[in-house]
Amino acid sequence: MTTASERVAIVTGATAGIGLYTALGLARQGMRLVMVGRDPGRTERARRLVVERSGSDRVETALADFASLAAVRRLAEALLAGQEQIDVLVNNAGLISPRFQLSEDGYELTFAVNHLAPFLLTNLLLDRLRASAPARIVNVASQAHRGFRLDLREVTRPHDWTPLSAYGRSKLSNILFTRALASRLDAKEVTAACLHPGMVATAIGDHAGALARFGWRLAKPFLIGPEKGTATSLFLATITDPTAFHGAYVIGNRIAEPDPAARDDSLGEELWTVSARLVGL
C-alpha cells in the first residue's frame, strides 16, 4: 500500500468552506493535493492558505465550472494528463441556486452542478482510480435529502422547483449515485461512500430563497464551523481500511440509514441510465 506522502488526492469545491478545510486536512496528512475551483483568483488564494497552514508545497490547482459538462471533461483530461495516479477523489463541490436557472447544457442548475458534474467527473477518472488501487471516492451528500423524491421524467426541469427542493433532490441523487457506483466497483480496488457533514456554517445557505436564507442566517451562529464539518470527509478519505463503508451513507464516522427513497436501488439504476445519457457517456 502506498504511504500518505505518495498518495494523490483531488478535492472539488476546494476554495471555501468544507472543501477548503478538507484540502487542508489532506495536505496535513502529507498527500499530494489538487484543489479544484471555478475562479482562478479564489482558487490560488485557497492554495496559498493550504500551503501556509499545512507546510506542504505539494499543492496544485485545477479549474472547472461545474455548470458546464464540457468544462468537467476538460478538467478530467487535465487531471489524467497531470496525475499518474489518483488515490482519493472527494466530490465536494455544490451549490443552492437562489432562483431557477439552467446550466450551460440546459439542465436545472443545482442538479447539474451537484449531481451531473460529479457523476461525469467520477466516471471519467474511474479507470485511473482503479489503476491506483486501493483508491477511494468520497461524495459529500446531506441530510437535506430527506423527504424529497425524484421524478426522472422532469429531473432537469422540475415543475415544482424551489431552492431547497432542488438541493434536496440533488443530495438524494448523490446517495443513489454512490450506491449504484459501489455496486459496480470491487471494494478491494476502489471504495465509494457518501456522507452528511453535519450542519455546517458555510456560505451555501446564503444563496437559497429569501425565507430559507433568513432562517439560515439565524441558525448560522449555532452551527459547527467548516473545519469541524470536514471530520467525516477526512475520516473516509484517510481511514486505513474503508471497505466497511463501501456504498454507505455515513454520519459522524458511523454508517447511517438514509431516507427510504435513497435506498431504492432500482431508482438508483434508472438515475444512472438517465445521468449517463444526459452527460453523454
Give the Cα separation of 210 and 34 in Å (integer).
35
What dihedral do alpha carbons 207, 211, 217, 220 form, nearest 10°?
Answer: -90
Element (H, E) at 31: none
CB 122 within 8 A of CB 190: no
> Which among 21, 107, 167, 249 is annotated as catalytic?
167
Question: Between β-strands 249-251 and 254-256, what pairing exists: parallel, antiparallel or unpaired?
Answer: antiparallel
Contact 232, 197 (CB under 8 A): yes
Helix orientation angle between 163-183 and 117-131, rounded to the nearest 10 degrees? 20
Q: Are 92 and 11 in contact (CB under 8 A)?
A: yes
Q: For residues 258 and 193, what is the distance between their CA atoms, to the nearest angstrom?
A: 13
Of residues 2, 86, 110, the one with CA closest to residue 36: 86
Q: Are 109 and 135 in contact (CB under 8 A)?
A: no
Asked about 167 being catalytic, the answer comes back as: yes
> How far is the C-alpha of 190 from the C-alpha of 186, rounded, in Å?
6
Active site residues: 167
